[in-house]
Structure 1
Amino acid sequence: MSDFDVVVLGGGPGGYASALYAASAGLTVALVEKEKVGGTCLHRGCIPAKALLHAAEVFRTVSHAGAHGVRLPEGVEPEPDWPAANSRKAGIVNQLHKGLSGLLKRRKVTVVNGWGRLTADGAVAVDGQNLRGRAVIVCAGSAPRAIPGMEVDGVRVVTSDQSTNSEADRLPERVAVIGGGVIGAEFASVYTDLKVDTTLLEALPHGVLPIGPDRDVADVLARSLKKRGTTIHAETRVGTLEQTSNGVVVPFETPRGSDKIEVDQVLVSIGRRPVTEDIGAAEAGVRIDQRGFVEVDTATMQTSRPGVYAIGDCVGTPGLAHVAYAEAMVAVDHILGENPPPVDYAKVPWVVYTHPEVAWTGMTEAEARAAGRDVEVHKHAMAGNGRAMILGETDGLVKVVAARGGPILGFHLVGPWASELLHEGYLAVNWEALPSDVGRLVHAHPSLAEAIGETMITFSGRSLHG
């Protein structure tokens, strides 16, 4: 039996953040991980996916080099180098994994390799060894959801985990992406920009990002994908896949009738599920809800068993690495006897790293009106923004939803570097700033951020360039 202040079950973003934050507060910590520290985000999700998205961005930029005054040799056309892109991606992942492992070691976190399970007496059992802490933090993570009857073989039918870990020597020529949410939209953007014949099939209306951002910004992304060559089918029901000698036949039905396509690969991207089936929850008295999520009090992240906490993808909060970081701080602060403010899930930052990027925080216009709020809404297009024109990326807009005469309720944008521009709006929404507060701030010229300032100014009834 080994005793620690905190035992962390799972080494993904929530797990390693819990371990590092607790260790920095002087607590002794054991971190249990069955594979490599870093979890899905580092090894199969966030980091590798964004590396591939950047490879697609570079290819897209080079393909349009002539428009920027850079001449390629006569008759030379750029080609995607999929092995090289995957090699660079792997290098980034390995470097980050090495850095994380070193940081855990410097903080004197004891990393235990193996599958950990909660026990009836409140410990964590790992391959016959019992780890006891005065608190346990469960960070069991998530896995891709499957579609019944659609067998994933890792070659012709794959999930996002397998796509980011691809060791294939070439890109598929034809891809069907099933699911138009965040993961599906990002992969559709990668494949489309790398000249793969890409079809996106989504069960809900609108086809692209049907849930999450304001419809105005999601529609900009949908139009951009279509303009670049993505075929998008909304309100689509996919039938049983048929393997052929040439690929996979994907039958589907839409409101317009039945159809089918043949592709080289099918990417199933319909979301992720919590991995809580074999963590010993029942034995430990930790309640799991009908969807498989660990039930927690989000004010403290504590489960139904005192002293056992749960955070990250295994609880029913937004499945975002940065949300898991925030939840880790809440849990550890509570273990330390402090009274931390809970995470305000309605106002967390969301980003979709497509081209163009989509980002938002707070309420959409539809959500605000449905909640009975009297709102004022203003938008500003990127089309006239000098920096966007210089970049050659003018597809985009900023949309601000505010209470009439009151604070900013929602901030939504689509366009170049929306992921980095978001945080001004995130602060404004969370600090309940007035549009006039932000509109009076000076935004550098020329900059993409000017579009934010211009949008805020229009709430005064006046404007500069809009």
Structure 2
Amino acid sequence: MADQFDLIVIGSGPGGYVTAIRAAQLGMKTAIVERDQLGGICLNWGCIPTKALLRSSEIYHLMHRADEFGLSVKDISFDIKKVVERSRKVSGRLSGGVGMLMKKNKITVIEGTARLEKGAAAPKVVVTGKDKKDTAYTAKHVILATGARARTIPQAGLEPDGKQIWTYREAMVPEDMPKSLLVIGSGAIGIEFASFYHTMGADVTVVEMMDRVLPVEDEEIAAFAAKQFKKQGLNLITGAQVEKLDKGAKSVKATIKTKDGKSQTIEVEKVILAIGITGNVENLGLEDLGVKVDRGHVVIDGYGATNVKGLYAIGDVAGPPWLAHKASHEGIICVEKIAGQNPHPMDTSNIPGCTYCHPQVASVGLTEAKARDAGYEVKVGRFPFVGNGKAIALGEDQGLIKTVFDAKTGELLGAHMVGAEVTELIQGFMVGKVLETTEQELMHAIFPHPTLSEMMHESVLDAYGRVIHI
């Protein structure tokens, strides 16, 4: 029957649509339910449009450095409406591409809002369409890929209003460029927006509750990045919380209190809340089904299975790390397990993280501190960008690559980077970790010259006292 499927995926973000495609490849009759736009938050309001914005700011930054490269550029300026328009076009192009992939793989796209009810093999999916009518669908298996939304501060006066206090959504489509901005939170989302707006000319302050910015990153890498941010003119306030926001006609006064009890007030045009995300678990019928939910996220095993038969969850709704590539991989593991294959369970230690600020930050595996806390005796290697010919030729000589090895076995435990294009370089170390590479293989690998990747090699050599170029 038309309303019966082998698999129904709820949500069409990078987790959902990739999972649906893999299921179709495995011969499953598959449907995907989407209440908004194909591609989900990532393609439409997250990963992709922010990178388009950051690309504009990167070029704008380079235009101001033209003289360093023997070039001349006059009357440098930008049109924020055109910057935003380009970002939206990039998202639209990719969202349309997801639609084509659904057709190519014969996946049924169901538009509307889904909720779950008790069913036979798996929960029944009831979709409320745009016409407000309900249609019930059944499947042998149902996968939740409903994603997450911006976390807000549960305190009066700190709620986003879409005008002066923004979430990431409003921050991506500014009508005008604010002259001053406060960013609350210094994780990947906060730092990326801080980097974009600062590069485009805004006076930006970042407030972070932890004692350092980019708190999930290796401490040494985070400190290097913070030094570069400050050199650029970003105002970083760590170990502090925003206690109050007083909105005026055209500005917001923020009261900031540090851990030592001192308070200060700053006045800005706009505020961006970037304090994390929480899973979209509401209004799905999870309570009635008895689905286990912990702190806003569905509890799953290593293959995406929940405690309810036939129901699975992947991606942001299933917990951290909140990354598109984690969601996609988690979905493939889940659907291959459903199909009777034998995939490896999700290993979060092999998921790379990337932050597209300036300079970029990327990492995979254990930080030096976490490796030591886990009981490892470690060998640590470092190599600075200033010792690399390609980095100097690019005019990007500020950066650092750091590797962490198990001193007893030579196992690569973690790699951490800050500098130009490190979000592209990190994949090399990720592949090495998946292949269970030791220092010997990495030392014997030949890296092309001149490339930034040579610094990866040198960092490994440094961990074992064999570094060449410093």
Provide TM-score, normalisation by structure 2.
0.95
Q: 2:447 aligns with which of 433, 436, 443?
A: 443
1:338 aligns with 2:341: yes
The aligned counterpart of 2:168 is: 160
The aligned counterpart of 1:198 is: 204
Deviation at residue 367 of structure 1 after TM alignment = 0.3
Tell me if the contact between 1:157 and 1:266 (Cα under 8 Å) persists in the aligned partners.
yes
Deviation at residue 463 of structure 1 after TM alignment = 2.6
Q: 2:406 aligns with which of 370, 395, 403?
A: 403
Inter-partner Cα distance in structure 1 for 2:443 and 2:194: 36
Inter-partner Cα distance in structure 1 for 2:114 and 2:28: 20
Tell me if the contact between 2:402 and 2:459 (Cα under 8 Å) persists in the aligned partners.
yes
1:37 aligns with 2:38: yes
The aligned counterpart of 1:11 is: 12
Tell me if the contact between 1:251 and 1:260 (Cα under 8 Å) persists in the aligned partners.
yes
Inter-partner Cα distance in structure 2 for 1:84 and 1:272: 29
Tell me if the contact between 2:381 and 2:464 (Cα under 8 Å) persists in the aligned partners.
no
Q: Secondary structure at the match of 1:146?
A: coil
Q: Hey, which bits of structure 1, 4+ residues long, moved more than 3 A?
A: none
Tell me if the contact between 1:454 and 1:465 (Cα under 8 Å) persists in the aligned partners.
yes
Deviation at residue 120 of structure 1 after TM alignment = 1.3
Deviation at residue 284 of structure 1 after TM alignment = 2.6
The aligned counterpart of 1:48 is: 49
Question: Which amino acid in structure 2 is aligned with residue 163 of structure 1?
Answer: A
Larger mean CA deviation between 428-437 and 83-92 belongs to 428-437
CA offset digits 1:286-338 (Å, max 9, x no partner): 2222x02111112x211111111110111123111100111111111111112
Tell me if the contact between 1:436 and 1:457 (Cα under 8 Å) persists in the aligned partners.
no
Tell me if the contact between 2:350 and 2:364 (Cα under 8 Å) persists in the aligned partners.
yes
Tell me if the contact between 2:118 and 2:124 (Cα under 8 Å) persists in the aligned partners.
yes
Within a 5 Å distance, the mapping from 1:11-410 to structure 2 comes to 11-73=12-74, 76=75, 78-121=76-119, 122-127=123-128, 128-148=134-154, 149=156, 150-164=158-172, 166-168=173-175, 170-206=176-212, 208-210=213-215, 212-254=216-258, 255=260, 257-289=262-294, 291-298=295-302, 300-405=303-408, 406-410=410-414
Inter-partner Cα distance in structure 2 for 1:65 and 1:297: 52
Inter-partner Cα distance in structure 2 for 1:31 and 1:392: 46
Question: Which amino acid in structure 1 is aligned with residue 449 of structure 2?
Answer: H
Larger mean CA deviation between 172-181 and 21-30 belongs to 21-30
Q: Secondary structure at the match of 2:446?
A: coil
Q: Percent identity?
A: 36
Inter-partner Cα distance in structure 1 for 2:390 and 2:90: 29
Inter-partner Cα distance in structure 1 for 2:288 and 2:246: 43
Question: Which amino acid in structure 1 is aligned with residue 139 of structure 2?
Answer: G
The aligned counterpart of 2:131 is: none
Structure 2 stretches lacking a partner, 5+ long: 129-133
Inter-partner Cα distance in structure 2 for 1:192 and 1:160: 16
Deviation at residue 105 of structure 1 after TM alignment = 1.1
Deviation at residue 235 of structure 1 after TM alignment = 0.8
Deviation at residue 395 of structure 1 after TM alignment = 1.4
Inter-partner Cα distance in structure 1 for 2:261 and 2:452: 40
Tell me if the contact between 2:381 and 2:461 (Cα under 8 Å) persists in the aligned partners.
no
Tell me if the contact between 1:120 and 1:285 (Cα under 8 Å) persists in the aligned partners.
no
Inter-partner Cα distance in structure 1 for 2:160 and 2:227: 30
Tell me if the contact between 2:63 and 2:73 (Cα under 8 Å) persists in the aligned partners.
no
Q: Secondary structure at the match of 2:244?
A: coil
Deviation at residue 401 of structure 1 after TM alignment = 0.4
Deviation at residue 167 of structure 1 after TM alignment = 4.8
Deviation at residue 461 of structure 1 after TM alignment = 2.4
Tell me if the contact between 2:383 and 2:462 (Cα under 8 Å) persists in the aligned partners.
no
Structure 1 stretches lacking a partner, 5+ long: none
Inter-partner Cα distance in structure 2 for 1:28 and 1:230: 52
Inter-partner Cα distance in structure 1 for 2:401 and 2:180: 34
Deviation at residue 256 of structure 1 after TM alignment = 6.9
Inter-partner Cα distance in structure 2 for 1:67 and 1:266: 34
CA offset digits 1:370-392 (Å, max 9, x no partner): 11111111111111211111111
CA offset digits 1:186-237 (Å, max 9, x no partner): 111111111110000111101x101x22111111211111111100000112
Question: Which amino acid in structure 2 is aligned with residue 18 of structure 1?
Answer: T
